[in-house]
């Protein structure tokens, strides 16, 4: 098996990075155990904040044991956006995004930064991976049921933080931006879409947000145990599509 730990995170872009949100859920599985709910490390509190989730992911990546983390938000923007603003790499995109969308700043809502912000896109703009799925929405489509726009705009700064913190550059593979093939022994951070996996597993009394995070961790573990995870890392793309996805990102499991 490629990994020893499997972490599923159901994300939320509501309120601020320090706000404790019921919608933020974390489940972790191991090679020998099904997913279990992970509670916030702060005593006397019930819910996670986005800041705490980033710190938890960093500790997991820092542990040394190969871990795969599935985060439920977009990791990048469509090619049309990149071309419009002259962004030729994912790292350049993340740095540019932080300058125009400082959504991880204290006391900052996504909506505060979104208001009158010219550095945005249109809800009709889709990444290639979103065109390949029946229900995935544009990362620019706010304020609709099932939208990932707010989560994406809230989560991107924390991806940059994880990438810049040790061991972000050495032992962590941010898929697929560091390549579609994942080297043996490296940990992985990948974009996931719980709708792809949630119906495969019984709910068993979990809330919708809990079941989404549980399903991500369970699917990652199951795919690794079956030996099929490597196949999902390399979707059947043409060379031009592969180059596009290397900039836009890809949803793990979309084939």
pLDDT of residue 157: 98
pLDDT at 169 > cutoff 80: no
134 part of a folded domain: yes
* pLDDT one-digit tens code per residue, 131-141: 999 889 999 99
pLDDT band, residue 166 (cuts 50/70/90): confident
255 part of a folded domain: no
pLDDT of residue 233: 98
Parent domain of 95: 5-248
Nearest by Cα to 254 from 162, 126, 141, 149 = 126
Which residue has better confidence, 147 or 245? Answer: 245
108 part of a folded domain: yes
pLDDT at 168 > cutoff 80: no
Total domains, the chain: 1
118 part of a folded domain: yes
253 part of a folded domain: no
Quick one: average pLDDT of 125-129? 97
254 part of a folded domain: no
Percent of the chain residues past pLDDT 70, beyond the cut: 100
- Sole residue written with tokens 């992911």: 57
**Got the DSSP string for the chain?**
---SEEEEEE----S-TT--BTT-EEEEEETTEEEEE---SSTT--SB-HHHHHHHHHHHHHTSS-EEEEESS--S--HHHHHHTT--SHHHHHHHHHHH--TTSTT--HHHHHTT-SS---TT---HHHHTSSS---TT--SSTT--HHHHHHHHHHHHHHHHSTTTTTTEEETTTT-SSPPTT-EEEEE--GGGTGGGS--TT--HHHHHHHHHHHHHHHHHHHT-HHHHHS----HHHHHHHHHH--BTT--
Quick one: average pLDDT of 97-114? 97
pLDDT at 167 > cutoff 80: no
pLDDT at 159 > cutoff 80: yes
* pLDDT one-digit tens code per residue, 197-237: 999 999 999 999 999 999 999 999 999 999 999 999 999 99
pLDDT band, residue 170 (cuts 50/70/90): confident
């Amino acid at each position: 098996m490629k990994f020893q730990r499997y972490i599923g995170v159901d994300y939320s872009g509501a309120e601020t990075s320090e706000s404790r949100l019921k919608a933020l859920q974390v489940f972790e599985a191991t090679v020998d155990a099904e997913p279990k709910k992970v509670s916030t490390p702060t005593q006397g509190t019930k819910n996670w904040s986005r800041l705490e989730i980033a710190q938890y992911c960093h500790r997991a990546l820092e542990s040394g044991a190969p871990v795969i983390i599935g985060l439920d938000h977009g990791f990048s923007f469509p090619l049309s956006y990149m071309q419009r603003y002259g962004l030729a790499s994912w790292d350049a995109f993340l740095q540019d995004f932080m300058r125009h969308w400082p959504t991880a700043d204290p006391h900052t809502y996504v909506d505060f930064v979104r208001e009158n912000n010219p550095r945005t896109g249109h809800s009709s703009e889709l990444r290639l991976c979103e065109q390949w799925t029946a229900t995935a929405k544009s990362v620019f489509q706010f304020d609709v049921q099932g939208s990932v726009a707010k989560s994406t705009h809230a989560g991107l700064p924390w991806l940059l933080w994880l990438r810049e913190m040790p061991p972000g550059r050495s032992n962590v593979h941010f898929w697929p931006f560091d390549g579609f093939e994942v080297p043996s022994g490296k940990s992985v951070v990948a974009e996931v879409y719980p709708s792809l996996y949630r119906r495969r597993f019984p709910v068993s009394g979990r809330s919708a947000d809990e079941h989404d995070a549980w399903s991500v961790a369970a699917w990652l573990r199951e795919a690794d145990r079956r030996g099929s995870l490597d196949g999902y890392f390399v979707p059947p793309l043409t060379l031009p599509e592969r180059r596009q996805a290397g900039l836009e990102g890809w949803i793990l499991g979309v084939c």
